[in-house]
Structure 1
Amino acid sequence: MSDYFGPIDPYVVFPAGALASGAIVLLLNGAVLFSLLALVLAGLLVLFDSWVNRDERAPRRRPARYRHTRW
């Protein structure tokens, strides 16, 4: 994966699958523009879910300097 996207939730399959199957039905009925719109919306939903689940990387910490103590 990249720094911008993370793993995809399994639960996003339900709404994205419903949108994709609706797009197939629209495509079979001849509504090409609406089917493309539904497919793009399903893809954006999956991308948004992957973006939300990305890892937040902690900033790199500099190593602590050695301090000489009297103990």
Structure 2
Amino acid sequence: MKYDISQILGAVLMCFSAQGLIRLLIDHDYTGFLGWLPGGFAALLTAYGLAATAGLLLTGWGHTRAKALGRRD
């Protein structure tokens, strides 16, 4: 069950950060939920990219661990 929760949280993190990353690339003035970070466009782009990567890795890790415990796809 805890690996299912990690998959869900990872997918939510990945979706929100990927959406923010795409919006930032289209409209440089839209900072989204990470707008409080200092550093300008490059820092926000990096932060959204890292958050999307972290969400992707968390989702994959949860899936791999759940599958190792015997749950099928």
Query: TM-score if structure 2 supplies the norm length?
Result: 0.41
Larger gyration radius, structure 1 or structure 2 = 1
Name the one with the larger helix percent.
2
Query: TM-score if structure 1 supplies the norm length?
Result: 0.42
Bigger relative contact order, structure 1 or 2, given CA contacts below 8 A and separation 6+? Answer: 2
